[in-house]
A and B are shown apart, each in its own frame.
Chain A
Amino acid sequence: MSERDRPDHENPEFGQVERSEWDSEEAGTGRYEAQQASDADEAVVELGEFPPISELESVDLSDVDPALGDPKLVAEMVAAQRETHVEVGEALMQMRDVTMKFGGLVALDSVTFDIRRGEILGLIGPNGAGKTTCFNAMTGVYRPTSGSVAFDGVPLGRLKRNQITRRGIARTFQNIRLFGEMTALENVAVGTDARHRTSVPGALFRVPRHWREEQDALERGMALLEFVGIGQRATEKARNLPYGDQRRLEIARALATEPKLLCLDEPAAGFNPSEKSALMDLIRKIRDDGYTVLLIEHDMRLVMGVTDRIVVLEFGKKIAEGLPVDIRNNPAVIAAYLGVPDDATA
């Protein structure tokens, strides 16, 4: 059951392509650019083979809720409403000397940084730098070997993963992990359920709280789908959605858990340039709606274009932190990405 037919565009080469894109920008090697262009063409052809939209299943939004026609009202329904203790601009997530070891391998080596409330923080680094490990340590998938992670002023101790979600950290997955047989709306409803409390007795006897929560799941679910731009496809099975819409649906599902911090793990993997710019708009829109965003991404144009600050990892160590402009010119970062000429090390 775990094997699902993921789209082909998720093969690891894509990460490489994104990286060479930036490499070529910096180093200006024409061959790289040509290579990248042909790769991009292939990607477009692959992305074109989407399953067609079933005519029977498109939903007229105004029939469901008239408010869904107005982007402002939609943004208001989606907006972050949970009470957050730290002020805007202060550290929402504090990573202090976090070390992760897997056997003899040190995946993270005393990494320290903050994510400030209301910002878009980019976490970048070459393949194998420990970005995803860092991410997993933050979202409770792994427990750090040493060091501390504090979220919203409270240390994240030994919590279960679903409890961490309830605390207010939501994530998307590098390789899309939607509930394929559920419709788009049901996927988002699972996210809204993170804040619901109806269990078997309540559902069995349809207590008033059950109806309230179902109403919330429907309304907020539809608003979220509309917010990320796939409201029309609410009743389509997630697995039948086009690749780009699946990525959007993941974001909607994560937002549905009412997070204080939204972590996006390579949301632009396999996107063409126009899809990437649409994604950048969406990420900004999410930030403007009151969310804090952590972005892990290979694509430099996207990271440079959308983030407020950037943290760079290499071999499990933080090598730089700062504004996009500074990172772009940081020699350590350039060395990490492009390598150091032989004569420089000799």
Chain B
Amino acid sequence: MSTSTSATSAAAAKSPGPVGVGDRLRLWWNQLSRPAQWGVGLPIILLIAAMPVIRPPLLTTPDTDFGAVMAQFGMYALLAIGLNVVVGSAGLLDLGYVGFYAVGAYTVGLLTSPDSPWNKTGADGFLSDKWAWLAVLPVAVAVTAISGLILGSPTLRLRGDYLAIVTLGFGEIVRLLADNLENTTGGGQGLSGIAYPRVGVTEANPFGIFSIGNTAEPFNSGLWWFWLSIVLIIVVLMFVGNLERSRVGRAWVAIREDEDAAEIMGVPTFKFKLWAFVIGASIGGLSGALYAGQVQFVVPTNFNVINSVLFLCAVVLGGQGNKLGVILGAFIIVYLPNRFLGIGDYKYLIFGLALMIMMVFRPQGLIPVRQKLLAYGRKIWQAAGRRSREEQS
């Protein structure tokens, strides 16, 4: 990471003249008013949402269902946003993020799967079949947040590599627990028949539009889960954005930049690191709950440590700290292996190579970060924009 920072500053020092397209775009975006930003952003979001319906010939995945791929992208995007809070903003290297994903998924599984001893659906449970998934969603988020608190409170006194090792261990512990507590988690057999939102039940769709049984083209279950995840992504992005443009976000970035200096400037570092961990964890748990609902089946092998690395890859590839960047990173991570199925397990080789090439040529990621950390920052940006327009004219 030290290489990345020095390289960006060197680039900034050497290129005084023409400002890149990205910078111009950013400046233009920054000085738009809030409604104008929504006016531009909403059509783009709708276009992306409509992709699995339009199925543009080159973009679509010929060998797998595009809707399902996009649903997976939605979940990975959520994970990337959550991990970005921990890694990108607060600079805490978390290699066990998949653990939170697993905790979220297993919470839903344990509470709603008929295979689980704690199943609360069906005849003797208090959860209705129709709304069980939605009801346990906040429970899953809360449980993951608590697991983040439990992991974070002893370990966040560690720094750098030590923290990475401890979190790596956490990821494995969660997976091994799921694998070995056969009486509750079903062990290697996993939990099946997990609840999902049973809405839109018709003759053609006896189990509702979110069921994996819904294979109607193009409005299959994948598409509906994709749309649901888009809504959740927007909500999460607004919350995370609120946090970033406040004392909290400034504290996170200050901790990332120089933890000692931050503490001496009055930042309660431990408290805010813990918050970053808890918030990152709950977003991961949310994504896990989505996953459990979509595939209606959880099994420990889905939560291997390699997934943690893949999530981290999405964050680094897209641009640490940049929310839009990490979503793009998640898209690449999910889309490429599905678009070119021949890649198969070579994907790790390819992503590894891609990361190495990125570290040499564009260490800041595809969309480099330019965090805005002041709630009233727009005022400053607009002043800067006016100034630049006056100078040009």
Q: Are A59 and B380 in contact (CB under 8 A)?
A: yes
**Cβ distance B261 to chain A, nearest Cβ, rounded Å:** 4
Flag whether A284 is at the interface (Cβ < 8 A): no
In whole angstroms, how far apart are the Cα atoms of A254 and B261 in the complex?
11
B278 vs chain A, min Cβ distance (A): 8
| Contact, CB under 8 Å: A199 / B248 | yes
In the complex, the answer to whether B13 meets A240 with C-beta atoms within 8 Å is yes
- Asked if A235 and B275 make an inter-chain contact with CB atoms under 8 angstroms apart, the answer reads no
Contact of B265 with A182 in the complex, beta carbons under 8 Å:
no
Given contacts A1-B5, A2-B2, A200-B275, whether A213 and B247 have CB atoms under 8 Å apart is: yes
CB contacts under 8 Å to B, within A233-290, are: 234-235, 237, 239-240, 253-254, 257
A5 CB-CB contact with B under 8 Å: yes
Selected contact of A63 from candidates B2, B254, B275, B383, CB within 8 Å: B383
B-contacting 9-mer, from A30-38, A173-181, A291-299: A173-181
Instruction: Please indicate the chain A residues that have their CB under 8 angstroms from the CB of B263 in the complex.
Output: 160-162
A60 interface neighbour in B91, B246, B275, B386, Cβ under 8 Å? B386
Contact B248 A56 (CB under 8 A): no
Q: Are B243 and A200 in contact (CB under 8 A)?
A: yes
For the complex, what is the distance from the CA of A54 to the CA of B386, rounded to whole Å? 14
Complex CA gap A291/B267 in Å reads 22
The stretch among B71-79, B187-195, B368-376 that forms the contact with chain A is B368-376
Residue of B nearest to A1 (CB): B1
List residues 8-40 of chain B with CB under 8 A from any CB of chain A: 9-10, 12-13, 16, 19, 23, 27
Q: Which residues of B contact A185 (CB under 8 A)?
A: 374, 380
A166: interface (CB < 8 Å): yes
Indicate if the CB atoms of B243 and A203 lie closer than 8 Å.
yes
In the complex, what residue of chain A is closest to B279 when comparing beta carbons? A200
Which of A55, A182, A204, A253 meets B391, CB within 8 Å?
Answer: A55
- Given A171-B264, A190-B250, A257-B265, answer yes or no on A2-B258 (Cβ-Cβ < 8 Å): yes
* Distance between Cα atoms of A331 and B5 in the complex (Å): 49
Given that A1-B5, A185-B374 are contacting pairs, would A193 and B251 also be in contact in the complex, using a CB cutoff of 8 Å?
yes
A321 at the A/B interface (Cβ < 8 Å)?
no
A190-B384 in contact (CB<8A): no
B249 contacts across to A, CB distance below 8 A: 203
List residues of chain B with CB within 8 A of the CB of A178. Answer: 257-258, 261
Residues of B within 8 A of A20 (CB): none
Q: Is A196 an interface residue (CB 8 A)?
A: yes
**A328 sits at the interface (CB 8 A):** no
CA distance A191 to B250 in the complex (A): 10
Q: Contact check, B369 vs A181: say whether CB atoms are below 8 A apart.
A: yes
CB of B262 within 8 A of chain A? yes
Look across to chain A and name the residue whose beta carbon is closest to the beta carbon of B13: A51
Residues of A within 8 A of B10 (CB): 5
Q: Is A27 in contact with chain B by the CB < 8 A criterion? A: no
A171 to B263, CA, bound (A): 12
Q: Are A1 and B2 in contact (CB under 8 A)?
A: yes
Q: Are B254 and A179 in contact (CB under 8 A)?
A: yes
With contacts A1-B91, A1-B256 taken as known, whether A190 is within 8 angstroms of B265 at the C-beta atoms is yes
- A186: which B residues are within 8 A, CB to CB? 250, 253, 373-374
* Residues 337-393 of B at the A interface (beta carbon under 8 Å): 369, 371, 373-376, 379-384, 386-388, 391
How distant is A199 from chain B, measured CB to nearest CB, in Å?
7
Per the bound structure, the CA–CA distance linking A177 and B391 in Å amounts to 33
Known A-B contacts A193-B247, A235-B380; A203 and B242 likewise in contact (beta carbons under 8 Å): yes
A301 within 8 Å of B by Cβ?
Answer: no
Interface size class of B (residues with CB under 8 A): 35 or more
Contact B9 A204 (CB under 8 A): no
Q: Which of A1, A166, A198, A235 has the most CB of B within 10 A?
A: A1
Q: Are A177 and B258 in contact (CB under 8 A)?
A: yes
Q: Restricting to A43-88, which residues have a CB under 8 Å from any CB of B?
A: 51-52, 54-60, 63-64
A335 nearest CB across to chain B (Å): 35
A25 to chain B, nearest CB (A): 34
In the bound complex, what is the Cα–Cα distance between A213 and B250 (angstroms)? 13
Q: Could you say which residues of chain A place their CB within 8 Å of the CB of B12? A: 51, 237, 239-240
Report how many residues on chain A are interfacial, defined by Cβ distance under 8 Å.
Answer: 64
Contact A240 B265 (CB under 8 A): no
Q: Is the interface of B mostly helix, strand, loop or mixed?
A: helix
Are A218 and B379 within 8 A (Cβ)? yes
B239 at the interface (CB under 8 A from A): yes
Once bound together, how far apart are the Cα atoms of A228 and B368, in whole Å?
30
Q: Output the residue of B242, B271, B371, B384 with the most chain A CB within 10 A.
A: B384
Task: Kindly provide the distance from the CB of A281 to the nearest chain B CB, expressed in whole angstroms.
Answer: 25
Chain B residues with CB under 8 Å of A240's CB are 9, 12-13
Residues from chain A with Cβ under 8 Å of B246 in the complex: 198, 202-203, 210, 214
CA–CA, A171 and B266, complex, Å: 11
Closest A residue, CB atoms, query B12: A240
A185 to B387, CA, bound (A): 17
Considering the complex, give the chain B residue whose CB is closest to the CB of A141: B264
Whole-angstrom distance between the alpha carbons of A166 and B268 in the complex?
A: 10
A256: nearest chain-B partner, CB-CB = B265
The answer for the CA separation of A79 and B257 in the assembled complex, in Å, is: 29
Known: A165-B266, A180-B257, A181-B253. A4 touches B373 (CB 8 A): no
Is B260 an interface residue, CB under 8 A from the partner?
A: yes
- Judge whether A139 is part of the interface by a CB distance below 8 angstroms: yes
* Bound Cα distance from A166 to B381, whole angstroms: 30
- Bitwise, B179-201 to A at CB < 8 A (1) or not (0) is 00000000000000000000000
Q: Which chain B residues lie closer than 8 Å to A189 at the CB level?
A: 250, 373-374
Does A342 lie at the interface of the complex (its beta carbon under 8 Å from any beta carbon of B)?
no
- Cβ of A217 within 8 Å of any chain B Cβ, yes or no, is yes
Tell me which of B9, B258, B381, B386 contacts A179 (CB under 8 A): B258
Closest to B244 in A: A203
Q: Which B residues lie within 8 Å of A63 (CB)?
A: 382-383, 386-387
Residues of A within 8 A of B369 (CB): 181
Tell me, yes or no, whether B211 is within 8 Å of chain A by CB.
no
Q: Is the CB of A182 within 8 A of B257?
A: yes
- In the complex, how many angstroms separate the beta carbon of A105 from the nearest chain B beta carbon? 22
B387 → chain A, closest Cβ, in Å?
A: 5
Top 8 nearest A-B pairs (CB, nearest first) are: A194-B266, A203-B246, A63-B383, A165-B266, A179-B257, A214-B375, A51-B13, A52-B16
Which residues of B are interface residues toward A (Cβ below 8 A)?
1-2, 5-6, 9-10, 12-13, 16, 19, 23, 27, 91, 160, 239, 242-243, 246-251, 253-254, 256-258, 260-269, 271, 275, 279, 369, 371, 373-376, 379-384, 386-388, 391
12 A–B contacts, CB within 8 A, in A order: A1-B1, A5-B9, A141-B264, A166-B266, A179-B261, A180-B257, A181-B256, A181-B369, A189-B373, A235-B381, A240-B12, A253-B265
